[in-house]
């Protein structure tokens, strides 16, 4: 179903006016097109339905004006559904409304009297209503966010009416329970599913009851119902995975793993059990290898039966696995305070024990121009110099103030990174996939983004960061620019590739936020390509060892973040992992208190986004 028509810019009122004009002139085809457009924009507007009724009164009832094919506009589908109901064929009409709801669940397609009237439930077979409810449920999250529930209430009303007419129909009651659960009516879901199981015991009935109990907080009862479902059908391995997931949620990890492994013993490639088993193993021992193995399974099995969230759940809010780390240091703390106070001058003086990372300096001066930095000393080794002489220079220094050593990126690069950059991602492979939008940029553009990061966009995320922590946006741009480098000339073998060489240059440059971004890109490469893992693990180990050695003589502001990156690296050797743990124990900043504004900011930024 395409999103619009040829007149997609018209409002519902304009479409309706054109439809009436065409209808008055006897031009039924143009009237139908404009009515479809009006319905797509205002599916419950009474005047639209009145005009549709006029069209239905013409010869043939108007059905021929809204044919169904492979590219039918959604408004035409809905119009045909209403005309079918008017023509005495409500079952077919309801089927089409369900199709529209699956396509766009947030629209009020079913919010019309003929759907919510008790008579519809009396006229349709209960099996048909159950199938429609299951079709709608399959397209919905569980639970549906509150903001999206109003459009689905007509289906719940239909379910209530049908449950009244058919109080002993197990399939109908189970499907009604599934819908009620998704719409937050969990106690109603329990009642309906319980009635269904009593009336007609079945595997699916017990599954619906188990889900309803689980949503209502009665986990023990839910597990019992799912256990009965297994007894009724021992070959349905999805139920094993559901039991394992439920047990994991309440911390019974050993039992959860037993259920997952029972399913794997029957089918080692069963996707639900594989995902659950890897997640539970990681929850038990914290070993990153389980998550990497899960990522490998996802890559090797792109045609899984449905999408799973186990990997994203394990990576969510974890440093570099699901989000970048907040920058630390006195200068960034002063920047946050300055923008939070918004004292017009955005000024003050901050004393630094050593030169701050150049990206931090540039970000602070751009967002708080009144800030004055006082550097106590320049310790050795000089933090303004690359860690390896061969590394690419991104900055020139005039005393303590860095300036970009590279030209600014093109407007195209600025536009693309602005559409993609975000401080959180589902997991490293998902970040890699999302960065494919930067694949067409050349290296000069991507490097230019590192030292000339564009301003945050004028959207909710951009405004939030500008008001609390502008450094997060800059760090995000740098991360995504480096991920873009991973997509540069992917036909080149890794060892001698341009992407590897450029990233290594960045990693061994001046200690900066760019160092972290480039190292994350390397770590991401190891997640998506098993063949590069030994090389990446070696580079990560060398970079961490260098930072640890420097930290014995002077501060290394990025050392805690480098340690987090190290622990996110596949196939890391035990010695390097131990060093990363020691460095985190020594240098990791204390977590902010729950009421700290920075903590609240990160909770909002890293909140899972709806697909």
Check whether residue 340 and residue 477 sit in a common domain: no
Alpha-carbon span 569 to 532, nearest angstrom: 11
Residue 379 has a CB neighbour count (10 Å cut-off) of 14
Residue 516 belongs to some domain of the structure: yes
Where among 353, 387, 404 does a domain terminate?
A: 404
Whether 382 maps to a domain, the answer reads yes
Residues 397, 472 within the same domain: no
Q: Are residues 562 and 529 in the same domain?
A: yes
Kindly state whether residue 354 falls inside one of the protein's structural domains.
Answer: yes
- pTM value is 0.86
3-class state of residue 185 by DSSP: coil
Is 57 within a domain?
Answer: no
User: Per the domain annotation, does 131 fall within a domain?
Assistant: no
Model pLDDT, residue 59: 76
Note whether 363 and 452 are same-domain residues. no
Last residue of a domain, one of 372, 404, 436: 404
User: For the chain, how many structural domains are there in total?
Assistant: 2
DSSP 238-279: HHHHHHHHHHHHTT-HHHHHHHHHHHHHH-TT-HHHHHHHHH
- As given in the structure block, the two tokens for residue 388 are 């390896």
Say how far apart CA 605 and CA 320 lie, in whole Å. 14
Averaged over successive runs of 10 residues, the pLDDT of the chain (611 residues) comes to 49 94 94 95 95 89 91 95 96 98 96 97 98 97 95 98 98 98 98 98 97 97 98 96 95 97 96 96 97 96 80 95 92 87 68 93 90 90 93 89 95 95 95 95 97 90 84 96 97 96 96 98 98 98 98 94 98 97 87 50 57 31
Give me the helix-helix angle, 498-507 and 513-528, nearest 10°. 140
Distance CA 31, CA 14 (A): 12
Whether 430 and 568 map to the same domain: the answer is yes
Which long-range contacts link 289-294 to residues 24+ away (Cβ below 8 Å)?
289/570, 289/571, 291/315, 291/321, 291/427, 292/527, 292/570, 292/571
Contact status, residue 39 vs residue 77, Cβ threshold 8 Å: no
* Residue 446 shares a structural domain with residue 399: no
Question: Tell me, what DSSP letter sits at residue 147?
Answer: G
- Based on the domain organization, do 363 and 477 belong to the same domain? no
Residue 378 within any structural domain of the chain: yes
| Residue 146 pLDDT | 95
Q: Which helix (H) or strand (E) holds 578?
A: helix 574-587
Distance, in Å, from the CA atom of 602 to the CA atom of 121, rounded to the nearest integer, reads 48
Is 488 within the bounds of a domain? yes
Segments forming the whole domain that contains residue 393: 330-404
Q: Please indicate, yes or no, whether residues 339 and 466 belong to a single structural domain of this protein.
A: no
């Amino acid at each position: 179903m395409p999103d619009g028509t040829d007149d997609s810019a018209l409002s519902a009122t304009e479409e309706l006016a054109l439809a009436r004009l065409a209808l008055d002139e006897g031009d039924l085809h143009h009237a139908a097109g404009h009515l479809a457009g009006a319905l797509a924009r205002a599916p419950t507007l009474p005047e639209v339905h009145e005009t549709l009724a006029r069209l239905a009164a013409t010869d043939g009832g108007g059905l021929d004006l809204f044919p169904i094919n492979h590219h039918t506009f959604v408004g035409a589908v809905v119009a045909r559904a209403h005309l079918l109901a008017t023509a005495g064929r409500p079952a077919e009409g309801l089927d089409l409304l369900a199709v529209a709801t699956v396509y766009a669940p947030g629209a009020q397609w079913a919010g019309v009297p003929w759907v919510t009237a008790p008579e519809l439930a009396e006229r349709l077979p209960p099996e048909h209503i159950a199938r429609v409810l299951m079709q709608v449920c399959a397209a919905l999250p569980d639970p549906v966010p509150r903001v999206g529930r109003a459009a689905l209430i007509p289906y719940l009303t239909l379910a209530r009416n049908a449950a009244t007419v058919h109080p002993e129909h197990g399939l109908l009651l189970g499907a009604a329970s599934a819908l009620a659960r998704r719409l937050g009516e969990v106690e109603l879901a329990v009642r309906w599913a319980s009635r269904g199981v009593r009336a007609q015991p079945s595997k699916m009935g017990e599954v619906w009851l188990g889900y309803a109990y689980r949503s209502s907080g009665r986990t023990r009862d839910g597990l019992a119902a799912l256990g009965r479902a297994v007894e009724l059908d021992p070959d349905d391995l999805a139920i094993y995975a559901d039991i394992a997931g439920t047990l994991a949620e309440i911390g019974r990890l050993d039992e959860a793993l037993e259920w997952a492994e029972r399913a794997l013993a029957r089918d080692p490639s069963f996707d639900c059990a594989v995902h659950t088993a890897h997640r539970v193993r990681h929850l038990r021992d914290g070993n990153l290898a389980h998550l990497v193995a899960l990522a490998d399974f996802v890559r090797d099995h792109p045609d899984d039966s449905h999408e799973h969230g186990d990997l994203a759940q394990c990576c969510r809010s974890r440093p570099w696995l699901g989000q970048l780390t907040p920058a630390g240091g006195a200068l960034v703390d002063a920047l946050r305070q300055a923008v939070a106070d918004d004292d017009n001058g955005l000024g003050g003086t901050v004393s630094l024990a050593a030169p701050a990372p150049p990206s931090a300096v540039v970000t602070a001066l751009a967002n708080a121009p009144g800030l004055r930095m006082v550097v106590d000393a320049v310790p050795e080794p000089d933090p303004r110099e690359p860690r390896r002489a061969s590394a690419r220079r991104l900055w020139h220094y005039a005393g303590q103030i860095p300036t970009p050593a590279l030209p600014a990126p093109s407007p195209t690069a600025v536009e693309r990174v602005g559409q993609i950059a975000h401080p959180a991602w589902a997991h490293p492979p998902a970040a890699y996939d999302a960065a494919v939008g930067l694949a067409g940029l050349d290296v000069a553009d991507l490097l230019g983004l590192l030292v000339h990061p564009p301003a945050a966009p004028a959207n909710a995320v951009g405004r939030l960061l500008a008001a609390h922590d502008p450094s997060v946006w800059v760090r995000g741009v740098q991360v995504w620019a480096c991920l873009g480098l991973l997509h540069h000339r992917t036909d080149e073998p890794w060892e001698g590739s341009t992407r590897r060489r450029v990233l290594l240059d960045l990693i061994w440059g001046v200690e900066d936020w760019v160092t972290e971004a480039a190292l994350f890109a390397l770590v991401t490469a190891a997640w998506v390509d098993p063949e590069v893992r030994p090389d990446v693990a070696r580079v990560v180990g060398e970079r961490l060892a260098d930072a640890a050695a420097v930290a014995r003589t002077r501060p290394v502001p990025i050392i805690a973040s480098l340690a987090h990156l190290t622990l996110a690296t596949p196939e890391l050797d035990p010695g390097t992992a131990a060093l990363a743990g020691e460095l985190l124990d020594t240098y990791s900043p204390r977590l902010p208190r729950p009421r700290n504004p920075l903590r609240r900011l990160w909770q909002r930024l890293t909140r899972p986004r709806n697909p």
